[in-house]
Amino acid sequence: MKIKELRNGMKHVNVEGKIVDKSEPREVVSRYQGTTHTVANAVIADETGKIKLTLWNDQIDQVNVNDNVKIENGYVTSFRGELQLNVGKYGKLKVE
């Protein structure tokens, strides 16, 4: 699937692209369990466009700018009016 085809609410998304940007990690506290997690945003791009990719905990260190990655079984959400690609707990993030 190409990035320009992604729409809010899509599930079971498989996307390949290149990491073109990555933010500094930040700490967030879960609303549900009160546990602390580390989160960072990256931008993944292919020839059709780009989308924000949310990275959690161990995923952050797996990915660097210029890496080619494959997302399997991801899903798309909208946060503050901006589409985001999420790996989620059932998805896979592979660095190629």
Domains annotated for the chain, with CATH where assigned, are 3-95 (2.40.50.140)
pLDDT at 30 over 90: no
- Residue 17 tokens, joined: 């692209």
User: Residue 88's pLDDT is what?
Assistant: 87
Mean pLDDT of 74-91: 94
- Residue 22 tokens, joined: 């990555």
pLDDT at 29 over 90: yes
pTM for the complete prediction? 0.91
DSSP 48-90: TEEEEEEEETHHHHH--TT-EEEEEEEEEEEETTEEEEE-TTT
pLDDT at 32 over 90: no
- For the chain, give percent helix, strand, coil, nearest 5: 10, 55, 35
- Reported as a single tens digit per residue, the pLDDT across 1-18 is 999 999 999 999 999 999
